[in-house]
Amino acid sequence: MTHQVKDIKINYSEYAYFTTLSGHEKLNYFFQLFEDIDILYQSASVAVSFNLLNPINNIHHEGFFYVHPGLVLDMLIEKYQNIILRNNYSKDVYTVTIYKI
């Protein structure tokens, strides 16, 4: 499945990894992630912060959901603008913070 974003085609299944699922099922988890983030953002008063598993240079363990930090950052900046992505303390996870300014 691809999605058109500002004249750029993105194949999301290449950026979301879930070792036990098919491409279509991965996409459902990927889009559910962004729906869940939106629910958290709407209920927050100052900021939302959460960790995600990093697929870059890692061993992927069965049953865990990995999503590319670059894609997450791009999509969140487009919607919320005030984003911090920290990947400086572990190669396995990264932290996303969305500020409500």
Q: Distance (Å, rounded) from C-alpha 52 to C-alpha 75? A: 15
Secondary-structure breakdown of the chain: helix, strand, coil percentages, each rounded to the nearest 5: 35, 30, 35
Amino acid 9: pLDDT: 46
pLDDT at 15 over 50: no
Strands of the chain (E only): list them: 2-5, 8-11, 16-18, 47-53, 65-67, 83-86, 93-99
User: What pTM value is reported for the model?
Assistant: 0.73
pLDDT tens per residue, range 18-46: 455 566 666 777 788 888 899 989 999 99
Amino acid 18: pLDDT: 47
Cα 36–33–15 angle (5° rounding)? 165
Contact present, 73 and 64 (Cβ < 8 Å): no
